[in-house]
Chain A
Amino acid sequence: MNLNNQQLKEILDELYKLDDNLRAKEQELIKIIMEVAAKRLKVEFDDRFRIKLRARIMEQAKAGSSLASLTIKYNPMKKLIYAVSFAVLAVIIIVPSFYLLKEKKSAKFNLTRQAPILAINKVAANSFGSLISKVESTVQNQNTGAASFRASQANGAGEKTLDGKTQGAAGAPVNNAGREAMLDNSAKSAANLAPLGQGGSGVVADVSSVNPDAKIMPPYQIVTYRYVYKGKDLPEIQAQMDVLKRNKISPTDVNMADLVNGLNIGLADLNSFSGLNLQNVTFTQAGDNSYIISVSPEEGAISISQNWQAWPAAKCGNDFRCFENTQKVNESDMLPDAELFKITGAFLADHGIDKKFYGDPVVSYNWRILYEASPDKSNFYFPNSLDVTYPLKINDKTVYEEYNGQKQGLNISVDVKNKKVSNLYNLTTQNYDSSAYDMETDPKKIIAYAERGGVNNVYYIMKEGGNGKEVELELGNPELGYIRHYSYETGKNSEILVPALIFPVTNSPKDQPYYYRQAVVVPLAKEILTEREKQLNQQSVDFSGGAGGGVSGSEPAMLKAETRPVK
């Protein structure tokens, strides 16, 4: 630490007050003091260590508090109870602490099993800065649909994958080919134009060019959805609520740097690089139907994916007939929800994955709707895997995806042909900082936004007498939850959870197979809602033949919130 003149003068004055004779040796003293100060050893304080230790300490503090209050409340023998309580507390604290230290010293290369904990550390209001840039990139990803959003997760939001292979990523598995292919094939059998009413930015080039007399393609019909809130008065929203930001702490206490310390792998001496630490590590399991497990201490995440080479489909190689005969999925192969949950539940139990942060599982994609709507069921593409989501719950609030209102959390794919779990992702450490932000409290504004269909909902303005259809959908009483967003600023991605009201769609259209929105999500953070409203005003497609004619992205008069009737 280099001292400035003021600091140096202060120190010298302190010394002279004790011994004025030292003034005669001032030059020597200055040399000594400056040299010692300059030789300050460098301290590197790891914030992840601070966060992790705090979580463990508070977990133990909480256990101690509960124990003390419980026994003291119900037993008049307080002195004895204090002694017993603290003896038990001492055991609770001391035993794990020595275990922690001992294990760390002796088990240098073993991944220690730690019970997962949920920790939320309160920090000052608005500590995460503006939420807007943290949200926008996520919304843009969502514009391209679920599959590509999850793919962006797999790549660490545009950054390197773990081992260069898509299946090894510590985020989502990139292989959503099943779902994409199903959408693609089924869509082709119905129409060759953009998905109907999907709420994306799928703008049709020119509707009037479709020939209604065409023998092969059915007439194209544009559907626009209008939402109406039919629930009770909204619950009171607090003026400020906590936004949570996930701290990416390693899932293990083992110092990953120890795994490379002293390692000379022949091609290079890793020990010659100072300050090395493991960013990601991937394990491959041997045997049939085995897995690839990726651990990312940097992201605080673990993912498990099929080791493709070891699963039955790989045996077919490039032989399409072999695949058709042995791996093609038929209707009889499709598993009911109960059986899916049995398979995923058993997988979690077998591999020591704790479900305590997650709610009851849900199947996150309903292939049956598309199948029932398909005009050619014989050519219907049944997905080779089905996704189960164990929704993340924090402070009794469920986490949702904003663009489709689906629950978000631990994702598990089940290979339906082989009746086995094929992929697991979004298994992360649960350590958050929480910071208060201003929320929208005006129920009229909230309902108005909900009735506009939320983010990415595109309104199609129809030509009078044209080939369009408006469907009214009802929104039920909302639930208070969170939406998860990712920020890709400064080359790193961070995750934040924002309080939101989730309005369920109570009468999803049965005859619109591509309608995907289970709920309309209204983010409550004022900053985000204001930005969303601006976006909605820009998201419309005008087929009415109004100003500009044809397709336009201009702002339609009908979409302004204040012109919509609000209950």
Chain B
Amino acid sequence: MSYDEKEAIRNCQAGELEDFGLIYDNYIKKIYNFIYFKTLHKETAEDLTSLTFIKALEKIKQFDPNRGAFSAWLYSVARNNVTDYFRGKKDNADIEDIYDLADAHDLEIDSHNRLIFEEVSKYLNKLGVKQKEILIMRLWEGLAFKEIADKLNMTEANCKMIFYRAVLKLREELAIMLVYIIFLLT
């Protein structure tokens, strides 16, 4: 079955909400992965994914195709749900994902990812929100910059630039760690 997103959205906005199923099928795994990489907990990711699609169904009439891509709109709904979730967990702090947390020990993280999280969070928490998102989408999800740009409502050039700065930052951090290690050894 071919998927015409624009037509599906038009139909949903006209009240034929059955076409929302096509939108759901196209985005469910992507949105789930996006949320999971921010929360690292299966049940939380499922909850927030559910909420994202419920809200998207409810608000689809408000989406204006002239203001950006549908994917960007949907990802922003997902991102807001994650932010709200962390605000609820950590006294309204401005936290966008689990890497931002200074101490994530009290948060539920899937056990099979706990060790890796502790390693990657050392450098990911030095990056900005957009830097992390783009780095994760490029290196972990293997998305092309054009796809990333659509999802984040940015230009492709901008995405590349943010990725470049993220890599430079990581290089800096690794250099600092190396100096620190050398300092400890001498």
Contact = CB atoms under 8 A, between A and B. Distances in A.
Contacts of A45: 29, 32-33
A163 B33 CA distance: 37
B22 to A, nearest CB: 10
A46 B42 contact: yes
Contacts of B54: 57, 60, 93-94, 97
Contacts of A25: 171
- The winner among A14, A31, A36, A101 for most chain B CB atoms within 10 A is A36
Contact of B1 (A7, A60, A89, A124): A124
B17 interface: yes
B101 to A, nearest CB: 15
Contacts of B171: 25, 28-29, 32
A94 B58 CA distance: 8
Contact of B15 (A68, A100, A274): A68
Interface in B124-165: 135, 138-142, 145, 160-161, 163-164
A100 B55 CA distance: 13
A90 interface: yes
Contacts of A94: 54, 58
Residue picked from A45, A89, A90, most chain B C-beta under 10 Å: A45
Nearest to B37: A41
Contacts of B110: 44
B57 A61 contact: yes
Contacts of A255: 43
B46 A61 contact: no
A252 to B, nearest CB: 14
Interface string B44-67: 001101110111011001000000
A109 interface: no
B120 interface: yes
A337 to B, nearest CB: 41
A64 to B, nearest CB: 5
A44 B54 CA distance: 22
B15 A41 contact: no
A11 B32 CA distance: 25
A269 B120 CA distance: 30
A56 B57 CA distance: 12
Given A15-B164, A46-B42, A65-B16, A41 B116 contact: yes
B170 A36 contact: yes
Contacts of A115: none
Interface of A: 1, 3, 7, 11, 14-15, 17-19, 25, 28-29, 31-33, 36-37, 39-46, 49-50, 53-54, 56-58, 60-62, 64-65, 68-69, 72, 86, 89-90, 93-94, 97, 100-101, 104, 121-122, 124, 255, 258, 274-275
15 contacts: A15-B163, A15-B164, A17-B160, A28-B171, A36-B120, A39-B116, A42-B116, A44-B112, A45-B29, A58-B20, A65-B15, A104-B47, A122-B1, A258-B43, A275-B112
